[in-house]
Amino acid sequence: MDEKKPDKVPNWKRDFPIQKKKATHVSRREFAKYLGLFSGTLALGNGAIVIKSLYFPEEELKGEHFVCNQADVPVGEMFQFEVAGTTVVPYILIHLEDNEWRAFEQKCTHLACAVRYRADIEKIECPCHKGYFNPRTGDVLQGPPPRPLPQLAVVVKDGQIYVKAKDQEKFI
């Protein structure tokens, strides 16, 4: 190892070797060390995710929130609204046929573009990279989004529309 014998060549000089052979040899060592460092960083990043989900779980929406009157949104239309929690999250409310209502987060799960409901093809569309979601379940039908859209439960009371947190089936 380097430390075994006192080296007569100072460190700065060893960083700029004269022979090309030496230079390439040293840089490969360094590359390997950087890979090791990177590997450690990735492990730390993974640990950060664990800590995040252990100690800072996402808060569920509490209570019911008034959105709008039923008469305001005709069939096949969508309505944008916001729910102010710890952060303000934009949502869309969709009026499907058979008097069914759905509420989804408006942020696309791919790169957070705003999605919109297209009644003509009966899909939720993300215009950025042509991602499509099922308007009933929020599942990805096509395109790059990796996860389904987060959904809220919709409650209709006396012609008024409320949203509340959906009981989530947890993934195993």
Partner 1 sequence: MSNYRRSQNQAHPNKTNALMTGILVLLILFVSIQIWFLFGALNNALRENFNFALTTFIGSSILAVASFWLLRYLPDPIDSPDNEL
Do residues 138 and 148 touch, judged by C-beta distance below 8 A? yes
Q: What is the DSSP letter of 72?
A: G
Residues 21-50 contacting ligand FES, CB under 6 A: none
Residue 66 — φ and ψ, nearest 5°?
-75, 135
Do residues 128 and 111 touch, judged by C-beta distance below 8 A? yes
Q: Which does 84 bind (CB under 5 to 8 A by kind): partner 1, ligand FES, none?
A: none
Q: Which amino acid does the sequence have at 140?
A: V
Contact segment (CB under 6 A) with ligand FES among 11-19, 45-53, 95-103, 142-150 equals 142-150
Q: What is the DSSP letter of 70?
A: G
122: left (phi over 0), alpha (psi -120 to 50) or beta: left
- Residue number, 41 or 69, with CB nearest to partner 1: 41
How many residues does the structure list for the chain? 172
Q: Which does 128 bind (CB under 5 to 8 A by kind): ligand FES, partner 1, none?
A: ligand FES
Nearest to 65 by CA among 103, 21, 108: 103
Considering the rule CB under 6 A, would residue 143 count as an interface residue with ligand FES? yes
- Residue number, 13 or 129, with CB nearest to ligand FES: 129
Q: Which does 159 bind (CB under 5 to 8 A by kind): ligand FES, partner 1, none?
A: none
Considering the rule CB under 8 A, would residue 21 count as an interface residue with partner 1? yes
Considering the rule CB under 6 A, would residue 138 count as an interface residue with ligand FES? no
Considering the rule CB under 6 A, would residue 108 count as an interface residue with ligand FES? yes
Considering the rule CB under 6 A, would residue 94 count as an interface residue with ligand FES? no
- Residue number, 25 or 157, with CB nearest to partner 1: 25
- The tally of CA atoms less than 13 A away on the side-chain side of residue 157 is 9
Q: Which of 17, 76, 144, 150 binds ligand FES (CB under 6 A)?
A: 144
Residues 60-99 contacting partner 1, CB under 8 A: none
Q: Which two tokens stand for residue 121?
A: 């093809």
